[in-house]
Structure 1
Amino acid sequence: MTKHHIIVAGCGDMANVWLDYVEQRENAEIVGLVDLNIEAAQMKADQRKLQVPIFTDLATAIEETKANLVFDVTIPAAHKQIVTTALEAGCHVFGEKPMAESLEDALEITKITERTSKTYSVMQNRRYLKEIRSLRHVIENNVLGNVHTLNVDFYLGPHFGGFREQMEHPLIVDMAIHTFDQARYISNSNALSVYCHEYNPSGSWYNGNASAICIFEMEDGSVFTFRGSWAAEGLQTSWNGDWRITGTKGTARWDGFDHLITETITDPNQTAFFKETEKSTISNIWTGHQQHAGCLDEMFSALEENRPAETDCHDNIHSMKMVFGAIESAKKGEKIYL
């Protein structure tokens, strides 16, 4: 069995999710913690009862511990440096999204993986929800016919504090990438173009644009629309958004909570003004773990089977193109081809 010797880079709260997972995995062990704030790293080690060395420099940590895998749970601004350093030092990387703060940096990282023959898998934990996996199954089995429209509304009012409220594009870069990636997964299609209007509504507590409306044209001919805000008080949606997916045979709805249904026409040859339909509850087909655990299961399996993970950087770059294409479109006020 492959033994994974892991360094965790970044000792904030998110590190706990990754550390919880490692505790359940027999062939993985933490061999070091890295953080520019050595006190934060020591606090994390004490909190988790980890008897491991602590570093402020990743390259040194890898050399001294002989690690072969790095968990990058740093803030987005640090991702390029952390991932590049780890790859160049001979480690594979599992990291939090986004890949980088610019598309150019993300593309450069994919080239480094090719040059170093190492892999970089990106945490897209919201692909690993039973409802998302089940929606993909419904579409693949032609329940809705030819899908032509995917819509999602996302409205929340979280008061994070910290780096998110200082970001130039907090909603699109830090959150909408989840939804964009889900749309790619559900439709099994990449985006060809985007038109986006991004804005910061009155009363927002964010410095950057906390709201956006995006229209994507997908490779399969469908259209995916996203309407969202992180500065929306009242009548909030789920963190998963409120989905509507329509095809030639009917529509699927997911409210982002536990209401997942289809309504499909009973006879395509009907000539009535409104065709007769029937409603059904979508059955869960996913038997794996959800969220971070599901994505990490896939990352480790892919590494051990010597294949790209489902969220390998070469796949995830297409979600990044949606993010940065949307930002470019908003800045230019025009449709952008990806």
Structure 2
Amino acid sequence: METEFRTVEGPVLRMVVVGSGAMGLEWMRAVLASDETELAGVVDTEVKRARWSVIRTRAGEVPVAESLDALLRTPQIGRVDGVVNVTPPDAHFPVTARALGAGLPVLGEKPMAASLEEAEELVVLARDARQLFMVAQSRTYEPHLSSLRAHVRAIGPPAVIVVNFLRDEAFDGFRTEMAHPLLVDMMVHTVDAVRYLTGKQATHVYCEEYGPSWSRYSSGGSATCVFEMDGGGRFVYNGSWSAPGDMTSWDGEWRVSGAHGSALWDGEGPPVRLSPSAPEHVVLPEPSRSGDGIRGVLADFIRALRTGRTPWGECSNNLGTLAMVHAAIDSARTGRRVRVPNPPGLSSVVPDPRRGEHI
């Protein structure tokens, strides 16, 4: 089911950022840097932090408040065209639901919600409000990922996709205390990228979570998952937040193998293809559009609001990503191989994040 949403007119869209932590600052800077947006206000449960974020980003006279409702009641707020939700995962549902209820489109940080049930409800709310709700899967906009997809198409349907994500990160804040931090906060990016590369959904998964003795995380800082993809291929994810030494890139290290060869990507440079008929490394041309992380996501959100064209990360499509993540969580909890659910609101139309095409 593809959500139909209202478009927005006007040369500049006025955006409210909810959440002024480290990522909130980055989103504020992205909104301020764009010629198509301006910062209308900042919300944080700690108003002092919101005020400090305005000072740090040199945003000028921007109103702040402790809640979205309070900000929308502020006399100087003026017109609001959209909301960027950069709160911790547990707050994603109430903030997004309130914004949609106020008739505002939402660009929300991943994951879409803390549970699949909450995510399904948000899809219904967005549909009923006829508002765009887009999830900011920024790493799917990495410039070399479209080149990797071209390699994958050349080698045929993938039989196996293996991704290693191994880093040693001294996070503070909610990540160290949240449940399943690697799966919810990081693997979600890789799952989304696999769906983009293949146009396929997983059917089953087996996952084990663990934590070495030196882990800073209360639970689930490391995990290995084996997904069975539609059509029979396998996607293997091996990740850890507690792997000191020679760390992988933030996008991980990839190997994709099909009937006509393999594609390799180190997560930083251009991918390469290994073929039995051409064993040398073959590098495809650079993608036609460079990725800009969250700025690229913001540009796609604005483009969607102006044209009505469904963007990558639209909520009914992103349900597929969240369904795979939560199936992995269920498997880790039960110690069993589990079926990946097919949420009733999941869109069968998968938009291309770079060209507005469907794959």
- Specify if TM > 0.5: yes
Paired residue type of 1:68: D
How far off its partner does 1:91 sit? 0.3
CA distance in structure 2 between the aligned counterparts of 1:289 and 1:206, rounded to whole angstroms:
31
Most deviating of 179-188 and 19-28 = 19-28
CA distance in structure 1 between the aligned counterparts of 2:294 and 2:56, rounded to whole angstroms:
21
Does structure 1 residue 166 correspond to structure 2 residue 177? yes
Any unmatched runs of 5+ in structure 2?
1-8, 341-359
CA distance in structure 1 between the aligned counterparts of 2:72 and 2:316, rounded to whole angstroms:
24
Paired residue type of 1:40: R
How far off its partner does 1:308 sit? 2.1
Q: Which residue matches 1:326? A: 328
CA distance in structure 2 between the aligned counterparts of 1:283 and 1:217, rounded to whole angstroms:
31
Q: Which residue matches 2:131? A: 118
How far off its partner does 1:30 sit? 1.3
Does structure 1 residue 99 correspond to structure 2 residue 109? no
| RMSD after superposition | 1.5
Does structure 1 residue 264 correspond to structure 2 residue 275? yes
Contact 2:16 2:43 (8 Å CA) reproduced: yes
How far off its partner does 1:185 sit? 0.8
Q: Which residue matches 2:225? A: 214
Q: What percentage of aligned pairs have identical amino acids?
A: 34
Residue deviations 1:147-177 (CA, integer Å, cap 9, x gap): 2111101111101121111011110011110
Does structure 1 residue 51 correspond to structure 2 residue 61? yes
Paired residue type of 1:262: R
Q: Which residue matches 2:318? A: 316
Q: Secondary structure at the match of 1:238?
A: coil
Paired residue type of 1:286: S
How far off its partner does 1:23 sit? 2.5
Q: 1:47 to 1:169 in 2, by over 3 A?
A: same
Paired residue type of 2:292: Q
Q: Which residue matches 2:248? A: 237
Provide the aligned length of Structure 1 versus Structure 2. Answer: 327
How far off its partner does 1:110 sit? 0.8
Paired residue type of 2:63: P
Q: Which residue matches 2:306? A: 304
CA distance in structure 1 between the aligned counterparts of 2:221 and 2:33, rounded to whole angstroms:
37
Q: Which residue matches 2:150? A: 137
Paired residue type of 1:85: R
Residue deviations 1:111-132 (CA, integer Å, cap 9, x gap): 1111111111111111111211
Q: Secondary structure at the match of 1:182?
A: helix
Does structure 1 residue 36 correspond to structure 2 residue 45? yes
TM-score scaled by length of structure 1: 0.93
CA distance in structure 2 between the aligned counterparts of 1:70 and 1:279, rounded to whole angstroms:
44
Most deviating of 35-44 and 283-292 = 283-292
Paired residue type of 2:315: C
CA distance in structure 2 between the aligned counterparts of 1:26 and 1:204, rounded to whole angstroms:
43
Q: Secondary structure at the match of 2:159?
A: strand
Paired residue type of 1:312: E
Any unmatched runs of 5+ in structure 1?
267-275
Q: Secondary structure at the match of 1:147?
A: coil
How far off its partner does 1:63 sit? 4.4
Equivalent of 1:185 in 191, 196, 211: 196
Contact 2:29 2:57 (8 Å CA) reproduced: no
Q: Which residue matches 1:269? A: none
CA distance in structure 1 between the aligned counterparts of 2:87 and 2:250, rounded to whole angstroms:
22
Residue deviations 1:185-242 (CA, integer Å, cap 9, x gap): 1111111111111111222111011111101111243211101111111121111111
Q: Secondary structure at the match of 1:95?
A: strand
Contact 2:151 2:273 (8 Å CA) reproduced: no
How far off its partner does 1:20 sit? 2.2
Most deviating of 64-73 and 323-332 = 64-73
CA distance in structure 1 between the aligned counterparts of 2:73 and 2:121, rounded to whole angstroms:
24
Does structure 1 residue 9 correspond to structure 2 residue 22? no
Paired residue type of 1:222: G
Contact 1:38 1:54 (8 Å CA) reproduced: yes
Contact 1:127 1:181 (8 Å CA) reproduced: yes
Q: Secondary structure at the match of 2:170?
A: coil
Contact 2:272 2:282 (8 Å CA) reproduced: yes
Contact 2:204 2:339 (8 Å CA) reproduced: yes
Q: Secondary structure at the match of 1:172?
A: helix
TM-score scaled by length of structure 2: 0.87
CA distance in structure 2 between the aligned counterparts of 1:240 and 1:307, rounded to whole angstroms:
27
CA distance in structure 2 between the aligned counterparts of 1:153 and 1:336, rounded to whole angstroms:
22
Q: Secondary structure at the match of 1:180?
A: helix
